[in-house]
Amino acid sequence: MSKNPLPKNSDAGGARFAATRWTVVLAAREKASPQVGEALETLCRVYWPPLYAFARREGRTPHDAQDLTQAFFARLLEDDYLRAVAPEKGRFRSFLLVAFKRFMANEWAKACAGKRGGGERHVTFDTALAENGYHAGLRDEASAEKLYERRWALTLLDQAMARLREEFTVAGKARDFDLLKTHLTEPRGETDRAAAALGLSEGAARVAVHRLRRRFREIFREEIAHTVADAAEIDDEVRYLLGVLGG
């Protein structure tokens, strides 16, 4: 076995901010573009679980929360809908929640007539998975807004973890990732078991864990970059979301 359990990655410095999905959407929201549509649909497909959780915490049934979220995204993906985006809604997280609240208050009744069909463009998602995530993150004292923020942060972490695992899998090191991944969430401690399983010295295993954590932080920042309008917002968003998870 290779003595370096980490896969090589030519993009270790992070994605170029100018190419992130949300900045593409914001920059071209005044005109129709396949690139804009694809970027927005990807964002919607990834970040719908927090909105589903918000609707559920607001008292909607699983069935109604699914219909409501689907109808909202169908409307969001329509041409010209993004012209209402304002600079103060530069974070995709903030824009989505503001738009979703407005949709729930003003447009849900109209959307009901065409729900689950009508030829609208839909973002497909796994309701069972969303419901499990809703209950897993639910706390008695959590408002719908707080639950939304927590589900948002967890979705970003899930995306980062999935990307990191994919890097290892492509490099033929999926087993290495499975042996090392617990060190991403556990306090710093012994690495002797991972070292033995990987055929490394304990010192080399500690280096591998350090690199794994560093790469995870890089990917997490990249995922956050996809959801803000300015690179200067990334650090604040990282701190905010980590605070949400720790709260």
Distances (CA, A) of 95 to 22, 29, 31, 88, 91: 11, 14, 19, 9, 6
Is residue 10 situated within a structural domain? no
Q: Can you say how many angstroms the Cα of residue 82 is from the centroid of all Cα atoms in its chain?
A: 20
Model confidence pLDDT, tens digit, residues 165-195: 999 999 999 999 999 998 887 766 678 888 8
Q: What is the pLDDT of residue 141?
A: 61
Q: Can you say how many angstroms the Cα of residue 38 is from the centroid of all Cα atoms in its chain?
A: 16
Asked if 73 and 123 count as a contact pair (C-beta separation under 8 A), the reply is yes
Is residue 5 situated within a structural domain? no
What confidence tier does 119 reach under pLDDT thresholds 50, 70, 90? very low
Position 216 pLDDT exceeds 60 = yes
User: What's the rounded Cα separation, in Å, for the pair 174 and 153?
Assistant: 25
CA torsion angle for 129, 131, 132, 134 (degrees, to 10)? 120
Q: What is the pLDDT of residue 29?
A: 65
CB atoms within 10 A of CB 117: 7
Position 16 pLDDT exceeds 70 = no
| Spatial CB neighbours of 200, under 8 Å, sequence gap ≥ 6 | 3, 5, 194, 208
Is residue 12 situated within a structural domain? no
Is residue 11 situated within a structural domain? no
Domains held by the chain: number: 1
Model confidence pLDDT, tens digit, residues 46-97: 889 999 999 999 999 988 888 888 888 888 877 566 666 665 557 889 888 9
Q: What is the pLDDT of residue 235?
A: 95
Q: What are phi and psi of 69, to 5 degrees?
A: -65, -40
Q: Single out the residue of 149, 58, 148 nearest to residue 105, CA to CA.
A: 58
Is residue 147 situated within a structural domain? yes
Domain that holds residue 194: 17-246
Asked if 114 and 27 count as a contact pair (C-beta separation under 8 A), the reply is no
Q: What is the pLDDT of residue 15?
A: 44
Position 199 pLDDT exceeds 70 = yes
Least confident of 18-22, 35-39, 82-86, 154-158: 82-86
Position 13 pLDDT exceeds 60 = no
Is residue 6 situated within a structural domain? no
The pTM for the full model equals 0.81
Distances (CA, A) of 186 to 44, 153, 155, 182: 31, 18, 19, 6
Q: What is the pLDDT of residue 198?
A: 87
